[in-house]
Structure 1
Amino acid sequence: MQTKRFMSAAVAAALAWTSMGHAAWDGADDLPTNPLPCDGGGGSVAAKPYDGGTPSGAANMAGKKISLVDVPKLIGIGYFNATALGMQQAAEELGNVDVVTDGPTEANIDDQITFIDNFITQGVDGILFAANDPVAIAPVLKKALGQGIHVVGYDANSQPDAREWFVNQAEFNGIAKSMVDAMAAEIGDDGKFAIVTSTFTTPNQARWIAEMEAYLAKCHPGMEWLETVEAQEDNVLSFNQATTLINKYGDDLDGLFGMTSVATPASAEAVTQAGECGDIAVVGLATPNAMKPYVKTDCVRSVVLWNPVDLGYAAVYVTRAVVDGDLKPGGTSVDAGRLGTLQVINGSEILLGAPYVFDKSNIDGFDF
């Protein structure tokens, strides 16, 4: 077994869990975890002062037409196509916002930084982003703030002072609880699982895994975590990694977690091709359309996500509110059009809402 290099806040529990066979993974941070109650009750988040950044000398564009650019982790996949669609819907509703989505075709932080830097040079009123790396992206975002450009993140955060606000699709501990409870329902509290993620440093996935670790230790300590593997945001690599795990662990592998909208359907396809549907559970984050074939064949029972269209939609409404002066540091809520009023959490995050579980009974009602 490798030496475990990441330790969550639940040190004692994690140490005990590691001694039971939990393989190492390289976590991206050492932030404290906050596992929700095992019985399904809600948790609470302590109030924090605003910890976001501030643009220098931003022009007064209140009520005026603004130009925004959206630079996601990568373009050309269903998930970020959906967030881009939501942004266009919000822009059309508002009538005084233009949004253009562009970015790398692979989840490469250096390429993402280059795109953002080019947009700064061209001159825009605001930048929306989903970070490939929370630390590496910070300098170019701070450069944008320094030139009076508004900066709002969504999906995957940066360091807080490198942007003004972050639209969080769901709290990390809520995602963790939904994922782990769904897996436990399928493989039992003594089942063994592995995880397919993009990279160990991708901020949202690293946080979800950290919260999963803490929640597992607290509520499902008998489950055994075999391994975590990286697969970028690549469909072929995700399929190959899932297949490798299936072959490596054989009958010891009871379940696979997919941490990305690419890894989850690829893992389901690997299980399908291996003839292991019903024997290896797949639980993960993915868009409904990508998972419908596997849900309908009962190879996948549940998919955890939020509506990425709403996420992109909310990001534009938040940016408009910031530009108009309706959302300022210390604010506690923001109006988000058809989504109603969204709450501020953790100082400078806007919470979209609770995670949603798609299954055979409801997945046909969604088209994204």
Structure 2
Amino acid sequence: MGRIVLSAILALSFSTSLSHAQSSWTGGDDLPTNPLACDGTAAAAASVPYDGGQPTNAPDRNGKTITVVDVPKLVGIGYFNATSKGIADAAAEMGTMDAKTDGPSRANIDDQITLIDNYITSGVDGILFAANDPVAISPVLKKALAAGINVVGYDANSEPDARQWFVNQAEFNGIAKSMIDALAAEIGEDGAFAIVTSTFTTPNQARWIAEMEAYQAECYPNMKWLETVEAQEDNILSFNQANTLINKYGDEMKGILGMTSVATPAAADAVTQAGQCGNVAVVGLATPNAMKPYVASDCVKSVVLWNPVDLGYAAAYVLRAVADGTLEPGATSVEAGKLGELQVINGSEILLGAPFVFTKDNINDFDF
């Protein structure tokens, strides 16, 4: 299984046409963007000071068995089942980490905060998390740091000083380029499209959308954003939202971008049931197994993702390195077991790798 399995996630929408000025639109955040070059020229790496937090009076955990809880956005979906498997695999491989996953049953930030707070009270050595809301989760993570607990994020970040490190599945501008390029290849450089996302506050999706808007405006200025809709990482709501978009925009809409591993297969199902395969392209983030039927039927050409098993695996190794004191502020890389050496970017982030596009030619090589 390739270590950097990435997949395309494209369901972008906008309430106004990009033929108008670049006004703000629902779905992206308001942070600065850094779009990659249209021709793929690599950007120069910038040195950024460490901006993460630090635990207060953490005990010596070097080489000792540590108790770790993984609190993802939610449990019971394929994507976070895969990250949980990666964490469990790494823990078993290391032999010095007792790790379990205990996330909310829905993508709800209040439920996630309550779970983390309970584990701070009961006592753990380390917390792994994927945030439902980057700002709302930060106070409870800072509480964990103040209690001497090591804190590492993955998949969806918090505010930097609320955790020590964040394992980034791929740089946001890299995913943005892969998604928009894949969409443009299918619907043309002047096609219209919409996005199905989870919520407008989910940090990684909002960042991807903002970077996609910036890259599209620079490299495909004639493409048209129609609308972005929320679907709460719920399969039925995602299907219904995609179906509504199909009915609302008709022949005008040439593509749907799915921003989550739930939204993308649901959108593909909606397009299939509406008899619009070949008329409405679906590009998005999803696990390969969920997309295999739609890729096999030629209704979906491109799926963008990374390997979520490897993402969880890397996060566990980063937490172990932090607990051992071998990963400290100012480091430029970290060893992550079978994944080898991973690079530090943006001050306090660890980069898993670059996006990967699944197609009919390679999707059956993967099983997750």
Q: Is 1:182 the counterpart of 2:182 in the alignment?
A: yes
Query: In the TM superposition, what are the counterparts of 1:1-368 in structure 2 within 5 Å?
Result: 18-20=18-20, 25-27=25-27, 29-368=29-368
**TM-fit CA distance, 1:22:** 7.7
Alignment RMSD: 1.5
Matched residue type, 1:185: A
Matched residues in 1 for 2:161 and 2:28: separation?
18
Return 58-67 or 17-26, whichever deviates more: 17-26
- Asked if the contact 1:231/1:237 (under 8 Å) is kept, the reply is yes
Matched residues in 1 for 2:350 and 2:180: separation?
24
- Asked if the contact 2:86/2:308 (under 8 Å) is kept, the reply is yes
Identity percentage of aligned residues: 75
Alignment length, in residue pairs?
Answer: 354
Return 39-48 or 158-167, whichever deviates more: 39-48
**TM-fit CA distance, 1:42:** 1.8
Matched residue type, 2:222: G
Matched residues in 1 for 2:32 and 2:271: separation?
34
Quote the residue 2:9 is aligned against.
none
Matched residues in 1 for 2:299 and 2:101: separation?
34
**TM-fit CA distance, 1:23:** 8.7
- Asked if the contact 1:22/1:225 (under 8 Å) is kept, the reply is no
Matched residues in 2 for 1:215 and 1:19: separation?
15
- Asked if the contact 1:311/1:352 (under 8 Å) is kept, the reply is yes
Residues 28 and 362 of structure 1, relative CA distance in 2, 3 Å threshold: closer
CA distances 1:119-169 after superposition (whole Å, capped 9, x unpaired): 111100000000000000000000000000000000000000000000000
Return 137-146 or 25-34, whichever deviates more: 25-34
Matched residue type, 2:317: Y
**TM-fit CA distance, 1:29:** 3.4
Matched residues in 2 for 1:50 and 1:169: separation?
19
| SS across alignment from 1:254 | strand
Matched residues in 2 for 1:363 and 1:19: separation?
36
CA distances 1:313-347 after superposition (whole Å, capped 9, x unpaired): 00000000011111001110000010000000000
**TM-fit CA distance, 1:21:** 8.5
Q: TM-score, normalised by structure 2?
A: 0.94
The structure with higher relative contact order (CA 8 Å, sep 6+) is 2
Structure 1: unaligned runs, 5 residues or longer: 1-13
| SS across alignment from 1:238 | helix
- Asked if the contact 1:194/1:225 (under 8 Å) is kept, the reply is yes
**TM-fit CA distance, 1:41:** 2.0
CA distances 1:74-121 after superposition (whole Å, capped 9, x unpaired): 000000000000001100110101110011110000000000001111
- Asked if the contact 2:68/2:125 (under 8 Å) is kept, the reply is yes
Quote the residue 1:3 is aligned against.
none
- Asked if the contact 1:229/1:241 (under 8 Å) is kept, the reply is yes
Matched residue type, 1:124: V
| SS across alignment from 1:314 | helix
**TM-fit CA distance, 1:24:** 6.1
Matched residues in 2 for 1:181 and 1:69: separation?
38
Matched residues in 2 for 1:19 and 1:295: separation?
32
